[in-house]
Amino acid sequence: MPETYALKVRVSLSMAVCLAAGLLGMVAFASGSGATPNANKGSGVAQAVNCRGDVVLDPGHGGTDPGATNGALKEKDQTLNVAYKLRELLKGAGYTVCMTRGGDPTGTGDDNAADDATLSNSERYTFANTTGARVLVSIHMNGSTNPATDYTTTLFGKWQKDKALALDLYDGLRLNLPAASDSSLYIRGRTPYSYASGVLLKSNMPATIAETVFITNNDEARLLAAGTR
C-alpha cells in the first residue's frame, strides 16, 4: 500500500478508507509486477456500458430493493455513499473505476445504471464481466433483528478466485475501522466465509461482498446518518 494511504487510514478511518486500504494492495497484486494502473481505456463514447476499469464497485441493492433498514436509513443509499467515497479514493490513487449503479456527475461514463436502479445479480456480474476489471467489490451493510449485533465481515464465492481479495478487504476493515460504540476499539470481525452469490460465482475476476457494518445497530446508524462512517 502506498505510504500516503497508510497515512490516510490513520487520519480518516472512514469505511471507504478502510476498504481502500484493503483493496489497493489487492489491485496491485492482481495487476502483476509494477502495479501499473490501467491507462484510461475510455472509448470517448459517453455510454456507461462501455466502461473499462481496474475496479468494479457494486453498491448493494437499489431501486425497489432497499436492503436492510433502520428507521429512515436504507442500506441501498448507504452502500452508494460508500461506493462514491471509495471511487474517489481509488481514482486518487490512479485506478479507473466502474460502478454497477450510481450517478455520473462527472460525465465520464463510468457507471452502468442510474443511482437508484433496481439490478438483478445477473445484471451486476454481466456488467462487471464487460469491464476488464481486475477486482469486483460488492458493498453491503448487514442486518439483524438484534440491534446489539455489529461486526464486519467479507464473503467469497470461489475459494481460488475470491478468497485472497475477501481476506484483504476484511483486514482493511477490521484492522482500521473503529467500533461504532467505542472509537478507542476496533470493530469486531467475523472471519470471511463462502456465500453462493451469483455476483461472486459468475464474475470473472476476484470478487467479494463486503458486509461492512450492521445498519441495524443504532451506534452504526447514528454514524451513518451523520455521514461520518
Q: Phi and psi for 224 in degrees, rounded to 5?
A: -65, -45
Scan residues 110-149 and list those touching Zn ion (CB under 5 A): 140
What's the closest the beta carbon of residue 53 comes to Zn ion, in angstroms? 23
| Binding-site member from 25, 59, 67, 206 for Zn ion (CB under 5 A) | 67
Q: Write the CB contacts of 28 (distance below 8 Å, at least 6 apart in sequence).
A: 35
For Zn ion, give the closer residue by CB, 37 or 67: 67
DSSP 3-state of 70: strand
Minimal distance, residue 132 CB to Zn ion, in Å: 26
C-alpha gyration radius of the chain: 16
Q: Could you say which of 60, 62, 102, 206 contacts Zn ion (CB under 5 A)? A: 60
- Nearest CA-CA partner of 18 in 101, 89, 114, 67: 89
Cβ-based nearer residue to Zn ion, 15 or 28: 15
Contact status, residue 194 vs residue 47, Cβ threshold 8 Å: no
CB nearer to Zn ion: give 50 or 118: 118
Q: Provide the minimum distance between the beta carbon of 223 and Zn ion in the complex, in angstroms, as a whole number.
A: 18
Contact 80, 63 (CB under 8 A): no
CA distance 224 to 107: 27
Say whether residue 59 binds Zn ion (CB under 5 A): no
Span from 54-62, 80-88, 122-130, 156-164 in contact with Zn ion (CB under 5 A): 54-62
In DSSP terms, which residues pair with 38 in a beta bridge?
A: none
Residue count, binding to Zn ion (CB under 5 A):
3
Q: Give the range of 58-66, 149-157, 171-179, 182-190 binding Zn ion by CB under 5 A.
A: 58-66
Least Å distance, CB 61 to Zn ion, is 6
The cell 481496474 sits on which residue?
A: 54
Cell of 193: 466465509
Binding site for Zn ion (CB under 5 A): 60, 67, 140
